[in-house]
Structure 1
Amino acid sequence: MTVALMWEARAAEGRGEELLAWVSERPVAGSPLAREILRAPGDRVLVITWWDAPYDAELPELPDPEGELVARPVHRWRFESLGRTGG
């Protein structure tokens, strides 16, 4: 089974690039199949990691940034991959 962990945060005012750098510098513990970092307007940053593991497996999570880097608590979700389709 493939599990996707999603981590999303919104940077504090004017700190979007700093949050993006913070995420980019964080190593992923373990051996994910893949990791992708995305950003969106509003200084939001999304990190998705894919794992070959059972849905309820104990998997390493990206931590919350310290201090005042984020505008609100980090959001986290876990999904089971149902496969990819073309186009």
Structure 2
Amino acid sequence: MTVVTLMWEARAVQGRGAELLEWARAQLLPYEPLRRETFRAPQDRVLVLTWWETDAVDAELPELPEPAADLVTRPVHRWRFESVD
């Protein structure tokens, strides 16, 4: 088994960071990851990391969707990481 971490990061329209944070926290996934953490950062950014145990690094895994276009300044950034320790 491999542990894969999915990273989801979005930047809210100025002054709407709290709304984006609340939106991200409310998003349900079809099944629970091993772990899920949500962060906020300057410039109204929100980051969500989820950890998944899987047989393949490139396995299809549930991800948070795109928020409404009027809530963010750009498309969501997404990265996939494989645990090496």
Q: TM-score range by the shorter chain?
A: over 0.9
Distance 2:5 2:58 in 1: 11
Structure 1 residues without counterparts, runs of 5 or longer: none
Distance 2:81 2:69 in 1: 29
After TM superposition, give the deviation of residue 28 of structure 1 in Å. Answer: 2.0
Q: Match of 1:23, SS?
A: helix
Please name the residue that 2:79 is paired with.
77
**4+ runs deviating over 3 angstroms:** none
Please name the residue that 1:59 is paired with.
61
Q: Match of 1:17, SS?
A: helix
Please name the residue that 2:46 is paired with.
45
Question: Aligned letter for 1:9?
Answer: A
Q: Percentage identity across aligned positions?
A: 61
Q: Match of 1:9, SS?
A: strand
Structure 2 residues without counterparts, runs of 5 or longer: none
TM-score by length of 2: 0.93
Q: Match of 2:50, SS?
A: strand
Distance 1:28 1:35 in 2: 11
Distance 1:49 1:63 in 2: 13
Distance 1:67 1:56 in 2: 28
After TM superposition, give the deviation of residue 35 of structure 1 in Å. Answer: 0.3
CA RMSD of aligned residues (A): 0.9
Q: Which one of the candidate residues 58, 68, 71 is aligned to 2:70?
A: 68
